[in-house]
A and B are shown apart, each in its own frame.
Chain A
C-alpha cells in the first residue's frame, strides 16, 4: 500500500523537515504520496513533486487551509487516509499539532517522534527525554506517525517528477481564526527552552564577567545560566541556576564555563545533546560528561571563542 507524507510548508516552499520525513516513508514502502494542504500552495506542491522518491503530490488548496490550522488540516487527512498504510508527518510543531487531531478522527493511536523503523508496524522512539528508548508495535490498520527529523537523512529535493493532484479543501470552517505570526525574537531565550545554553560557574569571579558569556549568547541565540556556586556568590540572580535545585535544561548545545561539574549541576544539564566544558582544572568532573573539553583559563578562552564565532560567520 501507499504511504502518505504530510508536507510542512509555507505555501510558497517546502520546509526541509518534509525531506527527512520522505526518507522515513521510503523505509516503509515505495509508493510515496505527499499531501500539501494550504492555500495558493501550487509552488510548494510542485516543489514536493520534485523530491526524489515521491510518486504523487496531493494538493489540498483552500482558503481555510492557508495557515495549517489543525482543525482544518486534520479532516483532509481523515478523508484521504483510507487509501494508505501509513501517514507520516515531521515531529515539528506543525506535525505535532495536526497529526494527533487526525489520529483521533481516525481512531488511531499515533506513534510520536520515531527515531528508527524496524518493520512496517514496529518503530523505535525516545521516551523520558531520551533517557530510554522504546520499541512499539502498532495494531492499528493505518499507522499515523510523526518523525524525529534529525534521525533521518533528507531526501534529495530534486530529481523526482511526481504529478500534482488536486484533492479539494478542508470542509467546514473551523471555530479557530489565525491572527498573526511573530517570527522575530529580540530577547534572549528562556533557559529551559533555549537551543543553546552558556553557563558560568564560580570561575567567572564576578557578575560583571558574565558579560563575556552574554556576548556569546547573543551571537548564538543562547540563554545564559549559572551554577549554584555562581548564584551563591551573588554573581547572577537565582533564576540563572541550572541544577538539581535550579532549572533542568536539555539544549542542543550546552557550554559550561568555569563550572567544576558538581553532581547537583550535572543533574540539571546532562541531557543536553552536546556539552562543551571550558575549565582550567583538568580534573574537573565536568570533563567526564563533556563532548568537547577545553582545558584553559576562561578569561583567555571565552574572548577567543567570541572571536572565532565572529570570524566563522
Chain B
C-alpha cells in the first residue's frame, strides 16, 4: 500500500510570531521555519505503518514556496521514501490545497492519505476534510489511534468530551491529533540520506488546478495584550475568581 502524507512548512512552533507593522500578515523573513507539528505526527504514523509492514511506499507532498523542499527533506529524513513539491509562490488556501492534493492522489492512488488536523499558522482545520469530499473517500478526523485492516481502518477520534471509534473503508483520508504518536527526530545519518531521495516538482497549472484565493486578507493585528494580573491573598479568593471571573473552572 502507498501512503500519501501532505505536509506544510510553518513558523517553528517555539518561535514567537510577530505581526508586520503594515498589518499585511506575520513576519516570515529570516524566521525559523519547521514542519507543522501535526504533519510530523502524520509522517511518523506513515513510517510506523511502513515499519510494521502494512505500507510499502510513503510519499510526502507539500504545496507552497520552493523552500517547502526543506520540509519535504525533513519528512524524508524521518523515513519517507520520496517527495512531491507543488510549487506556488502565491498563498494557498485549504480548498486550493485540497484540490491540488486530489490531483496528486488521483495520480498516485494511495490507500491512505494521512495528514495533520490543522496547520499551526492559519489554524484552519479544513484540508483533510475537503480532500475527502473531493475524492469522495471515507474521512476520519482528529485521530489518536489507527488500526489497519485488510480493506479498512479502524480509528479512534478525539472528540469534545471523549473518544469515538469509526471504521473507514480504504482508501481513506485521516487527519491526526497530538496523541496519535510521538514523532521521531531524524538522526544526522538519516538527514544525509534524505538528501539523495527524489523530490518531484510540480505546479498547480500542471495539475490543472485553479488555486486563486477566495479570501482577501483585510488586516492582521496583534491580539489585545494580556491585562495586568491581579494578586490574590487566599485560596478561596483564587477559586472564586477562577470560577466567576475567568470562568475556567
A residues near B, CB below 8 A?
Answer: 67, 69-71, 74, 92-94, 96-105, 107-113, 118, 122, 125-140, 174-185, 190, 192-193, 196, 220, 244, 248, 252-253, 267, 273-277, 287-295, 301, 304-305, 307-309, 312
B14 & A128 in contact (Cβ 8 Å cutoff) = no
Complex contacts, A134 vs chain B, CB 8 Å: 217, 219-220
B133 & A105 in contact (Cβ 8 Å cutoff) = yes
A104 & B95 in contact (Cβ 8 Å cutoff) = yes
Could you tell me the distance in whole angstroms from the C-beta of A186 to the nearest C-beta in chain B?
A: 11
Total of A-B residue pairs, C-beta within 8 Å: 239
Most chain A Cβ neighbours within 10 Å, of B213, B215, B227: B215
B126 & A110 in contact (Cβ 8 Å cutoff) = yes
Q: Which of A133, A190, A275, A309 contacts B239 (CB 8 A)?
A: A309
Could you tell me the distance in whole angstroms from the C-beta of B244 to the nearest C-beta in chain A?
A: 11
Q: Which of B93, B156, B166, B230 contacts A292 (CB 8 A)?
A: B230
B120 & A128 in contact (Cβ 8 Å cutoff) = yes
Closest A residue, CB atoms, query B20: A132
A101 & B94 in contact (Cβ 8 Å cutoff) = no
Could you tell me the distance in whole angstroms from the C-beta of A301 to the nearest C-beta in chain B?
A: 7
Could you tell me the distance in whole angstroms from the C-beta of A313 to the nearest C-beta in chain B?
A: 10
Binary contact readout B161-175 vs A (1 if CB under 8 angstroms, 0 otherwise): 111111111001000
| In the complex, B107 has a CB within 8 A of chain A | no
B residues near A, CB below 8 A?
Answer: 11, 13-14, 16-17, 19, 26, 93-95, 98, 120-134, 137-142, 154, 156-169, 172, 177-179, 213-223, 226-227, 229-236, 238-239, 241-243, 246, 248-249
A137 & B215 in contact (Cβ 8 Å cutoff) = yes
Closest B residue, CB atoms, query A190: B179
Could you pull out 23 A-B pairs where Cβ atoms are within 8 angstroms?
A: A69-B166, A71-B138, A101-B132, A101-B133, A104-B131, A104-B134, A105-B133, A109-B94, A132-B222, A134-B219, A139-B214, A140-B214, A175-B137, A177-B166, A178-B164, A182-B163, A193-B177, A253-B249, A267-B14, A274-B242, A292-B230, A304-B234, A305-B238
Closest A residue, CB atoms, query B169: A175
Apart from A128-B120, A177-B167, A295-B231: 15 A-B pairs, beta carbons within 8 A: A74-B133, A92-B160, A93-B142, A100-B126, A100-B129, A127-B26, A128-B26, A135-B219, A136-B215, A175-B169, A179-B166, A220-B249, A273-B246, A289-B229, A290-B229
Complex contacts, A304 vs chain B, CB 8 Å: 234-235
Complex contacts, B161 vs chain A, CB 8 Å: 183
A179 & B162 in contact (Cβ 8 Å cutoff) = no
Closest A residue, CB atoms, query B175: A97
Complex contacts, A132 vs chain B, CB 8 Å: 17, 19, 26, 220-223
B125 & A112 in contact (Cβ 8 Å cutoff) = yes
A100 & B125 in contact (Cβ 8 Å cutoff) = yes
Complex contacts, B132 vs chain A, CB 8 Å: 70-71, 101
Docked complex Cα distance between A134 and B122 (Å): 9
Complex contacts, A135 vs chain B, CB 8 Å: 217-221
A291 & B231 in contact (Cβ 8 Å cutoff) = no
Most chain A Cβ neighbours within 10 Å, of B130, B132, B134, B227: B130
Complex contacts, B168 vs chain A, CB 8 Å: 175-176
A137 & B14 in contact (Cβ 8 Å cutoff) = no
Complex contacts, A70 vs chain B, CB 8 Å: 129, 132, 139, 141
Docked complex Cα distance between A305 and B243 (Å): 13
Closest B residue, CB atoms, query A130: B223
Complex contacts, A184 vs chain B, CB 8 Å: 162
Complex contacts, A139 vs chain B, CB 8 Å: 214-216
Docked complex Cα distance between A252 and B235 (Å): 19
- Minimum-distance CB pairs A-B, first 4: A183-B162, A100-B129, A109-B214, A104-B130
Q: Which of B13, B129, B157, B248 contacts A252 (CB 8 A)?
A: B248
Closest A residue, CB atoms, query B246: A274
Closest B residue, CB atoms, query A282: B231
Could you tell me the distance in whole angstroms from the C-beta of A192 to the nearest C-beta in chain B?
A: 5
Closest A residue, CB atoms, query B216: A137
A133 & B169 in contact (Cβ 8 Å cutoff) = no
Q: Which of B137, B167, B229 contacts A291 (CB 8 A)?
A: B229
Could you tell me the distance in whole angstroms from the C-beta of B133 to the nearest C-beta in chain A?
A: 4
